[in-house]
């Protein structure tokens, strides 16, 4: 009983110390946090988190939180970065580097290269005088006064504080982006966002008879029947070799009716769009979603290297408007 009490006392002390570490951040958080939010909102790229050891694990969690709340994010391992992974970073990205000491060698090594690329660097650290803090574009103070673990064997309060600050950033970004329930559903179609978005397109695309397709030379009337049968709001137009030549959507038909009135007997190439956006089946779902969002389209033809049609995906199919389906034997974990 006495032993139990001593254990609980120690446990309570740890919780007290870690809670205090976070409470202190409430007082110290300031305009630099607002600048970080604006910097991310104004960025055309992603938020790239990087850190070593336990800080690296904190980075991974913040990355996941940002991704599931509408801020595209990637984790970059600093040790891998110096061996080529820095190629993932672009000038449009924002890098958040986390190091309590601010002296982490692997991070100080990559910082000059990041700055040369033109990438903005935000540093979460406990030491404003550290090399990382001094070299950053923005320093966020996540310093704590006391670690709960003896002898610095493992960071405790400091990693908790960095994690909480990351959550604060993600939540503020959610609100600033007007992220709503629909968005959340979009990113959590089955409660396993990461699993879904990382699937390859060939695992989820519609194939064979499911593809709405007409050949060049067929009429608009035949095309409307095909669109109606396959219920994707569009039909692909191909030549005899199944090479993609165009696409006809509900919108194309509506606009043609207004413009030309009697269109049913016309050949489909008269009203089709001739440069449809396409994607390779080896790409992942996240890239397809990005492409569709960026171009304000809802269907995306899948083609091989010679532009031969191999499948099609619909935005709703990918993001939860309908149940998300796999076309093969693989299951989402």
What tokens were used for 201? Answer: 């397109």
State the nearest-atom distance from the C-beta of 35 to other proteins, in Å: 17
CB 205 within 8 A of CB 281: yes
Comparison of 34 and 293: residue with beta carbon closer to other proteins? 34
CB 48 within 8 A of CB 94: yes
State the nearest-atom distance from the C-beta of 150 to other proteins, in Å: 5
Q: What is the DSSP string of 272-325?
A: SBSS---B-TTSBHHHHHHHHHHHT-SEEEEE-TT-BEEEEEEHHHHHTSS---
State the nearest-atom distance from the C-beta of 52 to other proteins, in Å: 11
State the nearest-atom distance from the C-beta of 142 to other proteins, in Å: 11
How many C-beta atoms lie closer than 10 Å to residue 44's C-beta?
8
State the nearest-atom distance from the C-beta of 32 to other proteins, in Å: 12
State the burial class of residue 13 (Cβ atoms within 10 Å of its Cβ: 0-12, 13-18, 19+). Answer: exposed
According to DSSP, the β-strands at 138-141 and 120-125 are parallel
DSSP annotation of 138 reads E
The vertex-134 CA angle with 129 and 139, nearest 5°, equals 90
Comparison of 31 and 191: residue with beta carbon closer to other proteins? 31
Comparison of 164 and 309: residue with beta carbon closer to other proteins? 164
Distance of alpha carbon 144 from alpha carbon 192, whole angstroms: 34
What tokens were used for 229? Answer: 């049968």
Comparison of 59 and 205: residue with beta carbon closer to other proteins? 59
State the nearest-atom distance from the C-beta of 137 to other proteins, in Å: 19
User: Which residues contribute to the site for other proteins (CB under 8 A)?
Assistant: 13-14, 16-17, 20, 23-24, 26-28, 100-101, 103, 126, 128-129, 141, 143-153, 155, 158
Comparison of 168 and 224: residue with beta carbon closer to other proteins? 168
How many C-beta atoms lie closer than 10 Å to residue 155's C-beta?
21
Comparison of 92 and 145: residue with beta carbon closer to other proteins? 145
Comparison of 24 and 281: residue with beta carbon closer to other proteins? 24
229 phi and psi angles, rounded to 5 deg:
-70, -45
State the nearest-atom distance from the C-beta of 210 to other proteins, in Å: 56
């Amino acid at each position: 009983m006495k032993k139990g009490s001593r254990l609980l006392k120690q446990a309570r002390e740890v919780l007290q110390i870690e809670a205090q570490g976070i409470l202190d951040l409430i007082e110290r958080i300031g305009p630099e946090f607002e600048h970080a939010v604006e910097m991310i909102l104004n960025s055309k790229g992603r938020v790239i988190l990087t850190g070593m050891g336990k800080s690296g694990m904190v980075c991974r969690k913040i990355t996941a939180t940002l991704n599931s709340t509408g801020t595209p994010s990637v984790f970059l391992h600093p040790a891998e970065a110096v061996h080529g992974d820095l190629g993932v970073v672009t000038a449009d990205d924002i890098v958040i580097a986390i190091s309590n000491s601010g002296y982490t060698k692997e991070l100080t090594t990559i910082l000059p290269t990041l700055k040369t690329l033109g990438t903005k660097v935000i540093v979460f650290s406990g030491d404003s005088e550290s090399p990382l803090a001094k070299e950053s574009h923005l320093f966020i103070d996540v310093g704590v006064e006391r670690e709960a673990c003896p002898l610095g064997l493992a960071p405790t309060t400091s990693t908790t504080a960095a994690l909480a600050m990351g959550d604060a950033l993600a939540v503020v970004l959610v609100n600033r982006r007007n992220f709503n329930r629909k968005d959340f559903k979009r990113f959590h179609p089955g409660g396993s966002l990461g699993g879904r978005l990382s699937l390859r397109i060939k695992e989820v695309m519609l194939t064979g008879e499911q593809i709405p397709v007409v050949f060049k030379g067929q009429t608009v009337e035949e095309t409307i029947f095909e669109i109606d049968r396959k219920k994707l709001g569009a039909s692909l137009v191909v030549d005899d070799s199944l090479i993609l030549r165009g696409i006809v959507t509900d919108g194309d038909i509506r606009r043609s009716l207004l413009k030309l009135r009697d269109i049913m007997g016309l050949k489909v190439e008269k009203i089709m769009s001739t440069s449809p956006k396409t994607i390779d089946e080896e790409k992942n779902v996240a890239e397809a979603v990005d492409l569709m969002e960026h171009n304000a389209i809802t269907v995306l033809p899948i083609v091989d290297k010679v532009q031969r049609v191999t499948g099609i995906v619909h935005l709703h199919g990918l993001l939860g408007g309908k149940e998300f389906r796999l076309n093969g034997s693989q299951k989402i974990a």
